[in-house]
């Protein structure tokens, strides 16, 4: 497989990764890049399909901006490696670019293609076209840094931005080069030195997000900071995590399965305390690598969080966690072992959940008719013995509330069989409600469960 | 659209009563949240300033 006057696309089937390297050569698959791939694919994967030449829009963007200016002849074409299982089950693709030793380019890989622990993932659908046929894959975007234009910070932003642009028509697609160009620098930009946290935030702003930054030392409470990490993932919002001691950036994109069986605390416990690790896009490893238990980094390594929020998500989660919830828990909740879930969702998605899951007809209709803002914060309390089947209490807050709005930010609440709204209450006949799942799916977000690889 | 008619009818049937006990609790939380407002605003300003400073200090990637 090489550039020639041949105008035909070449397709080759390949059973093993080592033979893949023989086919493409070390300029396209270095030993370093190969070492990332070895032993990471699950047993579901039965063969790879090589496609050449492939025009990878992200590599081409950097090629025309930088690599084409180098003395060394760098191939502008990429290989695309499709991953298949039995019966043509499609698990996505990754590209190989002529940038050794960091050859692994844009990849959309389904977690089932890899040996990944069970958990919840943020995934979105991508289409791949092979010889006139369309294959679809649910994935979170990933690539390896090229160390010249892209470093881990740019890759993290790119992965999140590509996830959003694929899901939401309001977000434009940005190539890795365009993301690189959005950062300002007082010194030369190539070779890239990475980005400051301010750079990362400002790039998100340029792309139309309303980012917020949290530092662990400013939050000043590691338990709350850990809850913050969980809250955004449960809300369906992937974010850039800074590991400042390691000078590293990754994107957090999901969490491991919740392990409540071992919990022996006897008070209100945030669900984040039951999560041993998070999935990440870390350009040093294949996608869905774990931060936390059995991972390459610990949750404690995360000490900065840059969250690309939607503009109408005004109310700061720290106000809720630090000031509002302690008061509510003291005055409203029974003295009972409870788990706390805090997350944001759209009122559209929440009403769909209400429509499908509430059995008290009067209460259900009342909520469906209630005027709600575009986004709401939801706080669910689940008694330990009922976890994960039944929610004891649920509080709704206006995510668009004015700052210092006081308790006016609370829309309504249900505490056991008591429904509360505007200082009034009603006793419900049937208040069995499941936990709210599939957060923000209707708005295009979604937490999809995948089993072990 | 029978379901819609049912939602509209049922929505009016939930009997919401004034609840002094609940109102007192909500008022108490409201007071707490609005206590020391000026101090809270100043603390927040300091946090924002420190966040800005830290965000410029580290190259990551």
pLDDT at A4 over 60: no
Which pTM value belongs to this model? 0.94
What pLDDT, on a 0 to 100 scale, did the predictor assign at position A260? 77
Which residue would you say has higher pLDDT here, A83 or B11? A83
**Average pLDDT score over residue span A167-183:** 95
Residue B33, classed as helix, strand or coil, is: helix
What pLDDT, on a 0 to 100 scale, did the predictor assign at position A453? 35
Residue B12, classed as helix, strand or coil, is: coil
Per residue in A107-141, pLDDT (tens digit) is 999 999 999 888 899 999 999 999 999 999 999 99
What pLDDT, on a 0 to 100 scale, did the predictor assign at position A293? 85
CA A440 from centre of chain: 13
Give the 3-state secondary structure of chain A. CCCCCCCCCEEEEECCHHHHHHHHCCCCCCHHHHHHHCCCECCCEEEEEEEEEECCHHHHHHHHHCHHHCCCCCCCCEEEEEEEEHHHCEEEEEEECCCCCCCEEEEEECHHHECCCCEEEECEEEEEEECCEEEEEEEEEECCCCCCCCCHHHHHHHHHHHHHHHHCCCCCCCCHHHHHHHCCCCCCCCCCCCEEHHHHHHHHHHCCCEEEEEEHHHHCCHHHHHHHHHHHHHCCCCEEEEEHHHCEEEEEEEEECCCCCCCCCCCEEEHHHHCCEEEEECCCCCCCEEEECCCCECHHHCCEEEEEECCCCCCCHHHHHHHHHHHHHHHHCCCCCEEEEEEEEEHHHHHHHHHHHCCCHHHHHHHHHCCCCCEEEEEEEEEHHHCCCCCCEEEEEECCCCCCCHHHHEEEEEECCEEEECCEEEECCCCCCCCCCCCCCCCCCCEEEECCC
Distance from CA of B30 to the nearest CA of A (A): 5
- Token pair in block for residue A29: 């698959």
Q: How confident is the model at residue A3 (pLDDT cuts 50, 70, 90)?
A: low
Q: What is the share, in percent, of chain A residues with pLDDT greater than 90? A: 83
Distance from CA of B40 to the nearest CA of A (A): 9
Distance from CA of A389 to the nearest CA of B (A): 25
- Sequence-distant (6+) residues with CB within 8 A of A320 are A342, A377, A379, A397
Residue at token pair 């799916």: A441
With contacts defined as CB-CB under 8 Å, which chain B residues touch A331?
25, 28-29
**Facing B19 at nearest CB: one of A155, A192, A424:** A424
Nearest residue of A to residue B13, measured between CA atoms = A362
Angstrom distance (rounded) from CA A441 to CA A67: 39
Angstrom distance (rounded) from CA B30 to CA A79: 61
Per residue in A149-158, pLDDT (tens digit) is 999 999 999 9
Q: What is the share, in percent, of chain A residues with pLDDT greater than 70? A: 94
Q: Is A421 on the interface with B (CB under 8 A)?
A: yes
pLDDT at A451 over 90: no
| Overall number of domains in chain B | 1
Residue B36, classed as helix, strand or coil, is: coil
What pLDDT, on a 0 to 100 scale, did the predictor assign at position A259? 82
Would you say residue B32 lies in a domain?
Answer: yes
**Facing A332 at nearest CB: one of B19, B25, B32:** B25
**Average pLDDT score over residue span A228-238:** 95
Expressed in angstroms, the distance from the first to the final Cα of chain A is 32
What pLDDT, on a 0 to 100 scale, did the predictor assign at position A266? 72
Residue at token pair 């209460």: A363
Q: Is A104 on the interface with B (CB under 8 A)?
A: no
Q: Is B5 on the interface with A (CB under 8 A)?
A: no
Q: How confident is the model at residue A263 (pLDDT cuts 50, 70, 90)?
A: low
Q: What is the mean pLDDT of chain A?
A: 92
- Token pair in block for residue A379: 């706080």
Would you say residue B12 lies in a domain?
Answer: no
Domain range for B51: 18-61
Note every long-range contact of B40-44, with CB atoms under 8 Å and residues 24 or more positions apart, other chains counting. B40/A404, B41/A404
Q: Where are the domains of chain A?
A: 10-311, 317-427
């Amino acid at each position: 497989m090489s550039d020639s006057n041949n105008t035909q696309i070449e397709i080759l089937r390949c059973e093993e990764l080592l033979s893949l390297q023989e086919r493409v050569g070390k300029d396209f698959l270095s030993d370093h890049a190969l070492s990332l791939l070895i032993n990471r694919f699950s047993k579901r994967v039965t063969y790879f399909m090589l496609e050449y030449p492939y025009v990878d829009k992200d590599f081409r963007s950097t090629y025309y901006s930088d690599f084409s200016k180098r003395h060394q002849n760098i191939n502008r074409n990429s290989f695309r490696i499709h991953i298949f299982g039995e019966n043509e089950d499609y698990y996505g693709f990754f590209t190989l670019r002529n940038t050794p030793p960091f050859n692994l380019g844009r990849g959309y890989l389904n977690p089932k293609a890899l040996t990944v622990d069970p958990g919840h993932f943020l995934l979105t659908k991508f289409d791949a076209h092979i010889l006139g046929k369309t294959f679809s894959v649910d994935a979170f975007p990933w690539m390896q840094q090229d160390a010249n234009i892209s470093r881990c910070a740019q890759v993290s932003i790119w992965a999140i931005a590509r996830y959003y642009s694929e899901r939401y028509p309001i977000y434009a697609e940005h190539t890795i080069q365009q993301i690189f160009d959005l950062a300002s620098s007082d010194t030369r930009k190539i070779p890239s030195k990475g980005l400051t946290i301010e750079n990362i935030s400002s790039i998100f702003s340029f792309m139309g997000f309303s980012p917020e930054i949290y530092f662990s030392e400013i939050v000043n409470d590691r338990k709350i900071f850990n809850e913050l990490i969980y809250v955004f993932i449960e809300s369906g919002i992937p974010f850039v995590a800074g590991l400042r001691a390691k000078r590293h950036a990754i994107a957090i994109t999901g969490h491991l399965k919740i392990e409540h069986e071992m919990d022996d605390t006897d008070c209100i416990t945030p669900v984040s305390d039951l999560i041993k690790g998070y999935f990440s896009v870390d350009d040093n490893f294949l996608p869905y690598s774990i931060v936390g238990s059995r991972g390459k980094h610990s949750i404690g390594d995360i000490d900065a969080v840059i969250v690309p929020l939607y503009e109408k998500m005004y109310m700061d989660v720290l106000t809720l966690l630090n000031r509002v919830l302690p008061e509510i828990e003291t005055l409203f909740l029974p003295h009972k072992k409870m788990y706390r879930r805090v997350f944001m969702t759209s009122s559209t998605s929440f009403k769909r959940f209400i429509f499908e899951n509430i059995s008290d007809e009067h209460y259900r209709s009342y909520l469906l008719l209630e005027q709600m803002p575009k986004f709401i914060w939801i706080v669910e309390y689940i008694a330990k013995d009922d976890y994960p089947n039944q929610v004891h209490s649920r509080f709704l807050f206006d995510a668009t509330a004015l700052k210092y709005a006081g308790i006016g930010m609370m829309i309504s609440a249900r505490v056991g069989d008591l429904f509360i709204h505007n200082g009034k209450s009603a006793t419900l006949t049937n208040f069995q409600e499941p936990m709210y799942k599939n957060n923000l799916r209707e708005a295009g977000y979604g937490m999809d469960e995948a089993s072990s690889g | 659209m029978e379901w819609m008619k049912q939602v509209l009818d049922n929505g009016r049937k939930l009997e919401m009563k004034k609840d002094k006990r609940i109102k007192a609790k909500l008022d108490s939380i409201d007071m707490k949240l609005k206590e020391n407002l000026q101090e809270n605003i100043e603390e927040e300003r300091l946090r924002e300033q420190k966040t800005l400073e830290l965000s410029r200090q580290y190259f990551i990637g």
